[in-house]
Each structure stands twice: as C-alpha cells, then as structure tokens.
Amino acid sequence: MIDNLIISLIAIVGAPIIGGLLFGIDRRITARLQNRFGPPILQPFYDFFKLLGKESIAVNQIQMMYVLSHLFFAIAALLMLVLRQDLLMLMFIFAFSTISLIIGAMSVRSPYSKIGAQREIMQMLAYEPVLLLMVFGVYKVTGSFMIQSILDYPMPLIYSLPLVFFAFLYVLTIKLRKSPFDFSTSHHGHQELIKGLTTEFSGTQLALIELTHWYDLMILLGLIALFFAQPLWVGILIALGAYFLEMVIDNICARVTWPWMIKATWLIGVGTALVNIIGLYLRP
Amino acid sequence: MGLMNTSRMKSPWIIHVNCTACNGCDIEVVAALTPMFDVERFGIVNVGNPKHADVMVVTGCVNPKTARVLKNIYDQMPEPKLVLAIGACGGTGGIFAECYNVLGGPDKVIPVDAYVPGCPPRPEAIIDGAVAALGLFEAKAKAMKEKAKKAAEKAKAEA
C-alpha cells in the first residue's frame, strides 16, 4: 500500500520533469536538424512558468474545468500505468483526457478552435481502433488485461506482437500530434488554423495543456516500454529510440490531409495489427 | 529576479502585425527567424495568435482602417505584453507621414515600448531591439499586479 503511494508520488512529480526535458531535447535536436542553434534544453519549463504568470483571459467559465479534466485524466492514466492496473481501462481514461480537450475547444465560438477540435476527433477516429487492437493483442497473448501480467509474462511481448508494435509506432505520431499528422494543432503557428485546438486557450490554461502534453508523452513511452519488458531498461532505451524516430519523421515529413490520414492509418495501422492478431489465432 | 521573471525574459513569443507596411521590414523580421539568425535560441517563437503572444512586433504606419485592427489585436493579448515598433514607419510614419490617410506610427493607437529605426532595419537590429525590450517585462508585470489589486479593491468597495 505505502509502496504504491510512493510510486504514485514519484510518477506524478517525475513524469512532467522528464517529459519537459524530452520536449526540450526534441526542440534542440529539431533545430540542429534544420541547421539552427536551437533554444536551451530547459526552454519548455521557461514557457510553462511564463504562461502561468500571464493574465488569465477565459472565454467562458467552463473552459478551465475541461482543461483540468484533460490534465487529471492524463494523470489518472499515468497512475494506472505505474501501478500496473488494467490496460483496457487505461486506454479509455486516456481517450477521455483527449475528449475533455476537444469539448473545451468546442465550447468557444472561434472557428479555428472548432475546426481544430473536429480534426482532433478525426485523429481519434484513426488511432483509437489501433490502440484497442493493441490491448486485444496483449490480452490474446497474456490472457489478462492487467499490466502486471505483461510484466509477469516470461517473454517480452515484442516476440508475439511485432506487427502490433509497428502499428503502435505508427499511431504514436498521430498521438503526439507531430508532422505529418500535426493538423489539429499545428506545432508551429502561422498556419491555416493558427493554433487549431489550443487557439482559444491562453495563460494558465495553455500551461496546463502543455503540462498534460508532458504526461501524455510519458504514458506513450511507457506503453512502448511495456512491449520490451522485462528487463525494463531495454524497454526504456527502445522508447527513447522511438521518440528520436518521431523527431526525425517530424522533420522530414510535410503535413497530410485528414482523409489521407484515416485511409492510411486504417489500412496500415489496423491492417498490420489485425494480421498479427489473426496470426496469433492460427498459431498452434 | 524571480523564476517567473526569468521565464518571461527567456520565452517571449511574438506576434507579427503588418500594419500597412511596404513588406521591407516584414522580410527582415522573417529573416530573423531563419537558420542564419535563429531567434529561437532566445526562446522567441512566432506564434501568430494574439492570445499566446507576449511581444507584438508592428511594422508600418497606421491609417484609419488598420488602427481598428491593430487596437483589436493588441487588446486580445494577455498582460504582461510589450510592443516593438519596427522601421522608420513604425516610429513616425516614415516617408508616408505626411499622407492624407496616414495617422503616423503605431504609437498613435497603442502604447509602444521600443522602437527599432531603419528603412528597413537589419535583422541584427531587430533582434537587438527585441532583447533590449525584454528588460521592461519586470516593470510591466508589477504594473499588471497593481492594476489587478486596484480592480479587486474597487470591486470590494462597490460590494
């Protein structure tokens, strides 16, 4: 019991620090790939504290509640991961975190915010089936939805679910909102949707969304690490490698349109995951 | 200098407003974002959304049509905010100052904190101006706090 409390506290405090640092390294590496010098590694933290100190301009009173539930559901999903709870439930809670942000963006009258929210729904439509198939594949292999059973399983999951892992890597780009799938909130402003989903959030609210983004990153990297557990350190190294791959993809890709994304994700993502799971059934 | 103030100085997000400029200054502003000058090393990001911006970079002179737009964008930015006027037109209206339809520089409509002269100024000068203006954030934040305090007291007195 007391162990769980300590683990939860470490996760809640440590995850945003590591996540923020990773985003700082991401910005630095991106700058180097573009032949620029780049901001300091601590830049995401400077941005975060600056946003906390801004005047709060809320468009409506309910907006803050949606931002807070965006944050709290992400923290809840992270806790479920570190406490080795139900993987299926984790996915649902994680999805609810994104849905809170979508409702928050929908609650204002700005067309940029609304189109951004609709695009985010399209993104969910693309990646949720793949995530559910991943959970299903894990259940097929280990016979349980619990994360504990993945860690107890004698072999790393990657041996039985290589294609599901590939599909998960594919949807990771969508989930992190990186190029070529960065159309719900373009990572660099000055584009057709200004900042899409986050256009109408400012000051503290934007800081909290940024904080949630760090938690999201840690959850996703944790899920990658699960495929290679045990030993866990191999998983963590592979997760960091996957994040580096995302940075490279982010820098070499132009943005695609949402119909293209849905077609490609359902074909490649759902296709490969399904092939893998059907293979599991056919295996003697 | 606290943590908040350091963060403010290290992460100024800019919004670039072209207020009837001839595009000479705009090209120089955009040049400052390129790999050659790379203002992101100071944490400067061009956000294009007034609600996320800390520093407004105005180029060009103001006429009655753009005055309304400029004021609107300025009002959407959350405090503490800075305004940086670029170029000769940004200072006084430049060669257009005497035109019948020109009001003058942006300071006729909104409070401007720093001017970068030149026609157009070099990107180095723009970066220099932006970094120099960041020193004003501390005073601005203090003014914002006092304003909020006064507003709260006023609301209390009315109640």
Residue B73's H or E segment, with its range, is helix B64-76
What's the pLDDT at A21? 94
Average pLDDT over residues A20-43: 90
Mean pLDDT (chain A) is 88
A258 CB contacts (<8 Å, ≥6 apart)?
Answer: A119, A122, A123, A183
Is A53–B4 a contact, with Cβ atoms under 8 angstroms apart? yes
Nearest to A50 among B7, B35, B76 (CB): B7
What's the pLDDT at A13? 93
What's the pLDDT at A97? 93
Is A189–B38 a contact, with Cβ atoms under 8 angstroms apart? no
CATH class of the domain comprising B3-158 = alpha beta
Q: How far is B70 from chain A (nearest CA, A)?
A: 17
pTM above 0.95, yes or no: no
Cα A5 to the center of its chain, rounded Å: 24
**How many contacts (CB atoms, under 8 Å) link A and B?**
92
Domain that holds residue A186: 2-282
A16 falls in which pLDDT band (50, 70, 90)?
A: very high
Residue A42's H or E segment, with its range, is none
Q: How far is A256 from chain B (nearest CA, A)?
A: 21
Domain boundaries of chain B, sorted by first residue = 3-158
Laid out side by side, the sheet with B55-59 consists of B45-46, B13-18, B55-59, B82-86, B114-116
Q: Residue B54 has which token pair? A: 């800390």
Calpha distance B77→A56 (Å, rounded) = 10
Nearest to B48 among A38, A54, A190 (CB): A190
Calpha distance B47→B68 (Å, rounded) = 21
Parts of chain B with a pLDDT under 70: 1
Instruction: Name the nearest CA neighbour of B77 among B57, B103, B97, B100.
Output: B57
ipTM above 0.90, yes or no: no
Calpha distance A218→B40 (Å, rounded) = 25
Is B4–A50 a contact, with Cβ atoms under 8 angstroms apart? yes
A187 falls in which pLDDT band (50, 70, 90)?
A: low
The dihedral through the CA atoms of A250, B36, B106, B11 has a sign that is positive
Calpha distance B19→B38 (Å, rounded) = 24
Specify the higher pLDDT residue, B39 or A284. Answer: B39
CA dihedral B131, B133, B136, B138 (to 10 degrees): -30
Which residues of A fall within a CB distance of 8 Å from B35?
34-36
| pLDDT per position as a tens digit, A41-77 | 999 999 999 998 888 887 888 888 999 999 999 999 9
Q: Residue B136 has which token pair? A: 């004003």
For residue A229, is pLDDT > 80?
Answer: no
Instruction: Name the nearest CA neighbour of A135 among A118, A157, A154, A152.
Output: A157
Which residues of A fall within a CB distance of 8 Å from B38?
31, 36-38
Is A190–B41 a contact, with Cβ atoms under 8 angstroms apart? no
A189 falls in which pLDDT band (50, 70, 90)?
A: low
Closest residue on chain A to B10 (Cα): A46
Chain A interface disruption, residue of B4, B8, B10, most A CBs within 10 A: B10
Is B11–A52 a contact, with Cβ atoms under 8 angstroms apart? no
**DSSP three-state, residue B86:** strand
Interface residues on A facing B, Cβ-Cβ cutoff 8 A:
27, 31, 34-40, 43, 45-50, 52-57, 188-191, 194-195, 198-203, 206
Is A50–B141 a contact, with Cβ atoms under 8 angstroms apart? no
Q: Are B108 and B68 in contact (CB under 8 A)?
A: no
Calpha distance A205→A51 (Å, rounded) = 8
Give me the number of domains chain A comprises. 1
**DSSP three-state, residue A76:** helix
Chain B interface disruption, residue of A110, A190, A200, A206, most B CBs within 10 A: A190
For residue A195, is pLDDT > 80?
Answer: no
| pLDDT per position as a tens digit, A236-259 | 899 999 999 988 988 888 888 888
Rg of the Cα atoms in chain A: 19
What's the pLDDT at B91? 86
